Structure 1
């Protein structure tokens, strides 16, 4: 009987020891899990709280739906860098569209237009000059209009072949003159606004016929056939204004003389207005 109680006591004591060991292990497991939770909480505190509307990160450079463009480095705080407008849309920059905007195009065109005006080597044009000639004594000379083919041999010098026709009166005589000659124009600079001063020299040969209104017969101041010839020399200056790249107008004042069989008139006064249309 004693042996039975000893065995039962040993069995109860062993079970109690085993039960106590299981509780200790459970406590250790709980302590380990608590330590892990505390460690995780410490890590979250160091990383900071997550964004209020934290969602899947949008693609770089793409703004979330309903919001403006994302903030870009270098942009001021509170502002977002707007993406460039697509080519061909309003507001697109010149680099995106591949063509300059309208104001730049107009500015460039205006600069090219201004640069193409004025004297330039190689220009060729047809000019008409209207004017008259008066001698120092008050006698009118037949010099009313000329037609000139002008060409620039340099940026400051033009040469012209001149053909003219004139009608003049002297007392009771009517004179009709045909002439041909040459002209040189030397430009002296640029006054601005497409205005250029110039010096002009001209030499011409004329053939004229004179009709006397008093007796109805021709009079040539000494020529038997009613015709006479004379030469003219003149020099002066003026201004030429380029209205357009191929169109110019000029005003001139020339002084000179007329020399012929019927006499010489020195100190002739020749004002004139001209227009030239250039082909290039």
Structure 2
């Protein structure tokens, strides 16, 4: 027992140093070695007492006990928890610009257009035949009502006499049909003042007309139209009055916002 006490004291003081080249052992390893040493000495002492009782050599029994006592395995150190990899930052996604809404077809408030009409027929009776062309602007001040301002040129012949004229006109168009439809009917009221002349003579002509037609939007900013009007033309300085139908011509309008 004295030997056991001295060994335990030596282990406690030295901390169970080893010379295997691995350096100072951990506290867990030292505690395990002390436990194994205690178990070995207890087994030896028990073998000695048993051998004395049986009449055998106690030293031989102690050696046999040392050879057969299993070694308590060293408790392995708990491995360090590996560092958790940082979650990569989510790359910033550039905001997607919203798509521009498609422009509707047909008349709409605030729509402004540059227009022209060709191959129109003039208001005439009897043997007179004439053609007219105009250029101007159109503006919608509501969803269905637009106003026209036009300047035109007219040519007519009466028998062997040729008549030419310049005119300024204003018109009001009211559109029907379902909103958003490409083909829209319209009703029109118009008035114009013309200066016409033949050779060295010229006169003013006032015309009032009403009628209707169709306008088709090929694209939100482009349309074609045609109409038929019934007009009343008068010469203020003479007793001349003409009533008849005429076609303002095939109109093309380019709209801008």
- Counterpart position of 2:122: 133
What is the TM-score normalised by the length of structure 2?
Answer: 0.58
- Of 197, 206, 209 in structure 2, the residue corresponding to residue 234 of structure 1 is 209
Q: Distance in 2 between matches of 1:169 and 1:231?
A: 19
8 Å contact from structure 1 (residues 232, 257) kept in 2: yes
Q: Which runs of 5+ in 2 are unaligned?
A: 1-51, 74-81
- Counterpart position of 1:174: 162
SS of residue matched to 1:258? strand
- Counterpart position of 2:64: 23
8 Å contact from structure 2 (residues 165, 195) kept in 1: yes
Q: Which runs of 5+ in 1 are unaligned?
A: 1-10, 37-55, 63-83, 88-94, 212-217, 219-225
- Counterpart position of 2:107: 119
Q: CA deviation at 1:16?
A: 0.8
Q: CA deviation at 1:190?
A: 4.6
RMSD: 3.9
- Counterpart position of 1:273: 250
8 Å contact from structure 2 (residues 109, 142) kept in 1: yes
8 Å contact from structure 2 (residues 233, 241) kept in 1: yes
- Counterpart position of 2:150: 162
Q: Distance in 2 between matches of 1:183 and 1:262?
A: 26
8 Å contact from structure 2 (residues 127, 158) kept in 1: no
8 Å contact from structure 1 (residues 194, 242) kept in 2: yes
8 Å contact from structure 2 (residues 174, 187) kept in 1: yes
8 Å contact from structure 1 (residues 127, 150) kept in 2: yes
- Counterpart position of 1:207: 195
Higher Rg of the two aligned structures: 2
Alignment of 1:210-229 (within 5 A): 210-211=198-199, 226-229=201-204
Following TM superposition, the consecutive aligned residue runs of length 4 or more in structure 1 with deviations greater than 6 angstroms are: none
- Of 162, 176, 185 in structure 1, the residue corresponding to residue 173 of structure 2 is 185
| Residues 242/128 of structure 1: CA separation in 2 closer, same or farther (3 Å cut) | same
What is the TM-score normalised by the length of structure 1?
Answer: 0.54
- Counterpart position of 2:226: 251
SS of residue matched to 1:20? helix
Q: Distance in 2 between matches of 1:196 and 1:145?
A: 23
Alignment length, in residue pairs? 195
- Counterpart position of 1:6: none
Q: Distance in 1 between matches of 2:160 and 2:239?
A: 16
Structure with bigger RCO (C-alpha 8 Å, 6+ apart): 2
Q: Distance in 1 between matches of 2:60 and 2:123?
A: 147
